[in-house]
Structure 1
Amino acid sequence: MKFTVISPEIYTYGAMLIGGILKDKGYDVSIKNKLSARPKDTVMMSLYSTLHLRSPILKEFIEDHRKKGGQVFIGGPVSAYPEIVLGELSPDAVLTGEGEGSILKLVESGISKDVPGLSYYDENGEIIINTPAVPASMKRPVPLIPTDIAKQDIRGASAYIETHRGCTGTCTFCQVPRYFGRGIRSRDLEDILKEVREFKKRGAKRLSVSGGTGSLYNYKDGHIDEDAFVSLLKGMAEIMGSKNISSPDIRVDCISDKVLDAIRDYSIGWVFFGLESGSNNVLKHMGKGASAEDASKAVLACREHGLKVAGSFIVGHPYETEEDYQATKDFIAEHCLDDCFVSIAEPIPKTPLADLVLKTPMDENPTYIPHTGEYRSLKLTESEARSFDLQMHADMYKPNLHVITDQIFNAYLAGVRKDGNDVRNATELLFKYYG
C-alpha cells in the first residue's frame, strides 16, 4: 500500500508525525504541502483550519482522487467536528482526535467499527462515529521530514517541535484543551533532542517549541518544572544554536525568573503572549484565567530579563463593548509592545465561543454589524474596523519608529477584510450544522 500525506500550504507537525509512523512500518510514503498524489495512493490529509472545509479546490481534489480509485482520510484539528468534514468534503472517512494511536489500525482494518476515533457514512447514508481514540502515546518514531523543510517559514521557524500535549487553560475560543485535554503529557527529553538533530540534518533553519504554552513542559501536580524547561531549551540550542530556537507561546501566568532567563539565554529572546484584551470584562468572558494586571506584570518581567515581547489580541468578541476595546488600546499604549498580532474572534466549532455565537443574533454580532465610525468610508464591519484600528495604533507605540505608509495601510486593510470574510465563513458553517 502506498500513501501520500498532504498538509495544505504548510507541513504541519501532525502530518509529518503520521508520515513517520507509516514509514516506520515499512510503507511507501511521501509528504506534500500541495494537493497532488499518485493516482491510487491512500491519501492521509491533515487539515488545521476550519477554512479548509469551505475550499472548493480541496473538495474537487478529494472527489477527483476518489474517482481515480484512491482513498482519502482526513485528520488534524478539524477532525473534532467530523459531521462538518464529511458533509463539506466527502472523504472516505475522518480520523478524529489523536490519530497516531489509530492510524495503523485503520490501515490494517479499513473502514470499520474496530477503528477507534473513525467517523464515516454507512451504507444507509448515516454518519457512524466510533468510540473515541484513546490519548496517543508520547513515544513515537521520528517524523517524516520533507526534503524542502528549509524553505518553510511559520512565524520565522521551519517547524514547530511538539514537546507536550494539553493545556491547563480554559480559554473559550481555543480548541487545544478540548482536543488534547487539560492534563499535560510530556515527551522524554532525549526523544525530543533526537528529533531536533534529524530536523537539522534535513536542513531546518530554525525550530520552535510547540505545545500551546512552552513552559508547561513536564508540568506536574500544578507546578511548572523550571529545570525541565531550561534543559529543553538548552539542549535544543546546543544542537541548533540559540539564535535558531524560539519558544514563543507562553501564558502570562506560566512564567518565572528561571523560565525567562532560559528564553533569554537559549533562544532568540522573544516571548509571545496571548494577551487577547486589555479589558478584564472580556478576559473573564474569554475564560483566560488571567487579568490585565497579570498581563502587565508579565510584560514588565520580560523587559527586566532583557526579552522582547509580542502580544496577540482578539477583537470582535460578542461581549466586547467600546469601553472594552478602548481598554485594549490603552494597554498597548502603556506597554509599547515590540510586536502585535490582531485577529477577529473566530467561533471554532465545539468551543464555548462557538456556542455563544450561535446564541447571538447576527445584528448583534460585531463581525456582521456595519461600522459607522471613523472608518465608515472603508465599508468595514465593526470587528474589521477594530482590527484595522488596533494594528495601526500598535505601530504607533512600538519601541522603534514605525511609519504608516500607503503600502502598510493597504496591507492592513486587505488583511482585516480577509480576516472578516474568513470569520463570517466559519460562522455560517457553524450555523449550517449546529444552528
Structure 2
Amino acid sequence: MKTVVISPGIATYGAMLIGGVVREAGHEVALSTSLAAGDAEAVLLSLYSTQHLMDPEMKAFVASVRASGRPVYIGGPVSAYPEYVLGELAPDAVVVGEGEATVPRLLAGGIHPDLPGVAYVDGGKTVVTPPAPPAPVERPLPLIPDAIGQQSIRGANAYIETHRGCTGACTFCQVPRFFGREIRSRGLEEIREEVRAFREKGATRLSVSGGTGSLYGYDGAIDNDAVIALLEMLAEELGPRNVSAPDIRVDAITDEILEAIQKYTIGWLFFGFESGSDRILRQMGKGVTVAQMHDAVEQSRQHGLKVAGCFIVGYPTETAEDYTATKDFIAAEMLDDVFISVAEPIPRTPLADLVLRTPHPENPVFAPHEGEYRSLRLTEAEARWFDLSQHADMYKPLLHVVTDEVFSLYLSEARKQGEDVRRVTALIEKYDR
C-alpha cells in the first residue's frame, strides 16, 4: 500500500521510526512534514502536540482525505488520549501507545475489534481495544528524509532514541505513562548502524533522546559503563563536537558520566529544574530537592560543562513566594542558558487533573496580573514567563541586553504560551470535566 507518514513541521524520530517499520512491512512509504497526501492510499499522522488537535488546518486536512475515500490513522504522543483525537479530528482510527506492531497490521487488515492498540468510533460509540504489548527495542532502520541535514531541533538534526521509559513520575510529563517506568535500552551496535544511516543522509549533529539520557543501560541503578560506551561510540561516528546528551535528571548523574559528557559531546547539560521551590517540586512529583539541584550544577561545572535549565511557571499552586524562589535559584547559579514554559496540562496527566480541580480565578494561567506589568494586560502566568525571561538574561555569564526587539519578542511569546495553555485547558474541560 502506498502510504505517507506526516509529522507536521519537523521530521520527528517517532515518524521516521514508524516510516521504517511500514517500509519493512513491504509498503511503499514517504515521509512528509507538510499536510499533503499526494497520491498515497493511506495517511498516517504522527502528532506530537496537543495543539495539533485544535488546528483548523489539521481538521480540514483529515476531513478532505477521508472524503476522498482514503483512511487516516493518527498516532504519536497524542494517542495517550484517543477520545480527544477522535472527537476533534475524526480520523478513521487512533493508534494508541507504541505503534510498531499495530500500524502494519492496521494497514494490512484495516480496523478490527480484535486488533490491540487502536481506538475508533463504531455506531457513535468510542471503542478502545486492549493495549498492544510494549514494542521490542530492536527495529528496522528509520525512514530518514533526504533533507535531514537541514533540520535543526535545539541545534541537532535529530534526536535518536537510545532507550525507552523513565524512572521519574513528574506530574506534567507523559513519558513514563506512555512508555512505562521500566528502562528498555537498545543494543549499542544497532544504534551505531542507525547513526551511520543518519550520517549518510547528511545529518551532522545528533542528540541522545529517551527521557533522561543517562538512563541508558539502567537496570535498577545507573550504568556508568553503558552510558560512557554509548557516548564514546557516538563521538567515534560523528565527532565529539557533533554529539549532545542534553536532558538529564539531577539525581541521575555521576562523576564518570559527567566526565564522559565533557569528553565525548558538545559539553552542555540541560537539567529539568522546573522550580526553585521545594514545595512546588513536591507538587510536581520531581523527586528531587533544590539542594540537589544546586549540587548538580556545582558538580557539572567541576567537569567544565555548560549548564542550562528548564523551568515551568504558572503551575496551578505556585504562589508569589514559590516564583521568587525560582528567581533566586537562577540568580544564584548564573545558568548558561534558560528555557521557560507556562505549565501546560497534557491531558490525562496528574497536572491535568489538578487544573480541572482549580477554579479559573485561582489558576495563574487565567488570573490577571496585578503587579508591575499590569499595563501589559497579562495573566499572572504570562507575567511570570515574561519577567523570568528577562531576569534569566541578567544572570547569564555572557552579557544579554534586553533591547526593544527582545522585549517585544518576550512579550509576544508570553502571550502565546498563555493562550496555548488556555486552549488546552478548555479541551480538557470539554472531555474530562
TM-score bracket relative to the smaller structure:
over 0.9
Distance 1:114 1:240 in 2: 44
Distance 2:324 2:40 in 1: 56
1:25-424 matched pairs, under 5 angstroms: 25-122=25-122, 124-220=123-219, 222-424=220-422
Q: CA deviation at 1:38?
A: 2.0
Q: CA RMSD in A?
A: 0.7
Q: CA deviation at 1:26?
A: 2.2
Secondary structure at the counterpart of residue 99 of structure 1: coil
Q: CA deviation at 1:113?
A: 1.2
Aligned to 2:7: 7
Q: CA deviation at 1:41?
A: 2.1
TM-score (norm 2): 0.99
Percent identity (aligned) = 60
Q: Which amino acid aligns with 1:62?
A: V
TM-score (norm 1): 0.99
User: What are the Cα deviations for residues 112-168 of structure 1, in whole angstroms up to 9, with x where unaligned?
Assistant: 01211100011x111100001110010100000001111111010110000000000
Matched-pair contact (CA < 8 Å) for 1:279–1:325: yes
Q: Which amino acid aligns with 1:30?
A: A
Q: Which amino acid aligns with 2:140?
A: P
Structure 1 gap ranges (5+):
none
Distance 1:372 1:202 in 2: 53
Q: Which amino acid aligns with 1:112?
A: H
Secondary structure at the counterpart of residue 197 of structure 1: helix
Matched-pair contact (CA < 8 Å) for 1:40–1:69: no
Matched-pair contact (CA < 8 Å) for 2:48–2:78: yes
Q: CA deviation at 1:191?
A: 0.5
Secondary structure at the counterpart of residue 86 of structure 1: helix
Distance 1:27 1:86 in 2: 26
Distance 2:412 2:138 in 1: 43
Matched-pair contact (CA < 8 Å) for 2:317–2:363: no
Q: Which amino acid aligns with 2:84?
A: I
Q: Which amino acid aligns with 2:28?
A: D
Secondary structure at the counterpart of residue 401 of structure 2: coil
Matched-pair contact (CA < 8 Å) for 2:386–2:410: yes
Secondary structure at the counterpart of residue 204 of structure 1: coil
Tell me the matched-pair count. Answer: 433
Distance 2:145 2:346 in 1: 29
Secondary structure at the counterpart of residue 258 of structure 2: helix
Q: CA deviation at 1:40?
A: 4.7
Q: Which amino acid aligns with 1:166?
A: G
Q: Which amino acid aligns with 2:101?
A: G
Q: CA deviation at 1:25?
A: 2.3
User: What are the Cα deviations for residues 172-227 of structure 1, in whole angstroms up to 9, with x where unaligned?
Assistant: 0000010011110000000001000000000012100000100000100x211111
Distance 2:47 2:298 in 1: 37
Q: Which amino acid aligns with 1:142?
A: L
User: What are the Cα deviations for residues 218-255 of structure 1, in whole angstroms up to 9, with x where unaligned?
Assistant: 100x2111110001011011111111100000000000
Secondary structure at the counterpart of residue 135 of structure 1: coil
Distance 1:370 1:142 in 2: 50
Secondary structure at the counterpart of residue 404 of structure 1: coil
Matched-pair contact (CA < 8 Å) for 1:249–1:272: yes
In structure 2, do the counterparts of structure 1 residues 130 and 396 end up closer, same or farther at CA, with 3 Å as the change threshold?
same
Q: CA deviation at 1:22?
A: 1.1
Distance 2:156 2:423 in 1: 29
Distance 2:40 2:14 in 1: 23
Q: Which runs of 4+ in 1 moved over 3 A?
A: none
Secondary structure at the counterpart of residue 414 of structure 1: helix
Distance 2:223 2:217 in 1: 6
